[in-house]
Structure 1
């Protein structure tokens, strides 16, 4: 899995344009993350003030480029199809090949865009692309039990609950339980 496997123009759905992040996206990404800091804080690792700076954002974008170049991740931005506003992100990370053929899915959407079906639309297209073009067998996505929105979205997308992991990830500075889900590629 590398960047050459993703169309240069990205993927278009009815309302969303999915594309890989670019170095010139640093200011827009920083604005998105700053605007949604409180909204995303309960679901993400602790982010100190240093996270919300242009140099740190540029470094994150460089790391994303490196991960995509070495085939260990596919990072995508969700942009409004007609005005290119940054709506959110989805990331297929920790890609493992060999007999496992799997990855983890993470996603976030701006608070102003929740409840409109945009993430469902975007993830449907992204997941199908990853299954078809990258030939992964399994995509895993984990969420905190109290994150009902993410749980409902994953169920709608065909992810099945596989268990509960106690103190699984350190989220917002505290070890948090997570519901483990996955979706298996029916063609692999």
Structure 2
């Protein structure tokens, strides 16, 4: 499966994407640092990226996750990624969404357009009922993006995730499948 977003390729992660992911993480290291866990130098090696991609693909094959990449059509470089993880079936039919956008791609609406496609995929193709996305209260860009996509604020979690070495509060949001 592959989609087109503003002329860019949007497709699921594959095992051979580890070098792309490694480059994306190295190039955007400073840009993403305030919003992610502390990363040691080993994290930014190609070998570490290969192991993470392998684990993510295995999770996708097990039906526990779905990871997408937005790629430059000519170079194949990663512009954005979004991960739907912790997919739970049964009476819950829900997952968590995480996403990031390359610094060079900021301000063009690419993340919104990407998530519109991938959220719809999760609802229509996977039959999920709820997508949950959480953000730091000070991350105004993520807050505005999620609100523009219809994610409703459902709560506030104190000391929710350890980001940049500090336990940080998060705003809890969700998007409910409009067809269910």
Does the pair score TM above 0.5?
Answer: yes
Aligned to 2:72: 80
Residues in 2 aligned to 1:79 and 1:29: alpha-carbon distance in whole angstroms: 11
The answer as to 2:120 corresponding to 1:136 is no
Aligned to 2:59: 67
Aligned to 1:180: 172
Give a deviation string over 1:101-144, Cα, whole Å, max 9, x none: 00000000011111110001111011011100111000000000
Deviation for aligned residue 1:21 = 1.8
Residues in 1 aligned to 2:144 and 2:124: alpha-carbon distance in whole angstroms: 24
Which portions of structure 1, spanning 4 or more consecutive aligned residues, are displaced by more than 6 angstroms? none
Structure 2 residues without counterparts, runs of 5 or longer: none
The answer as to 2:135 corresponding to 1:126 is no
TM-score (normalizing by structure 2): 0.96
Distance change >3 Å, CA 50–CA 83, structure 1 → 2: closer
Deviation for aligned residue 1:11 = 1.6
Deviation for aligned residue 1:83 = 4.5
8 Å CA contact 2:134–2:173 kept in 1: the answer is: yes
Deviation for aligned residue 1:81 = 4.0
Deviation for aligned residue 1:17 = 1.6
The answer as to 2:155 corresponding to 1:155 is no
8 Å CA contact 2:92–2:129 kept in 1: the answer is: yes
8 Å CA contact 1:16–1:122 kept in 2: the answer is: no
- 2:9 pairs, out of 9, 17, 20, with 17
RMSD: 1.1
TM-score (normalizing by structure 1): 0.92
8 Å CA contact 2:86–2:96 kept in 1: the answer is: yes
The answer as to 2:145 corresponding to 1:145 is no
The answer as to 2:81 corresponding to 1:95 is no
3-state SS of paired residue (1:134): coil
Structure 1 residues without counterparts, runs of 5 or longer: 1-6
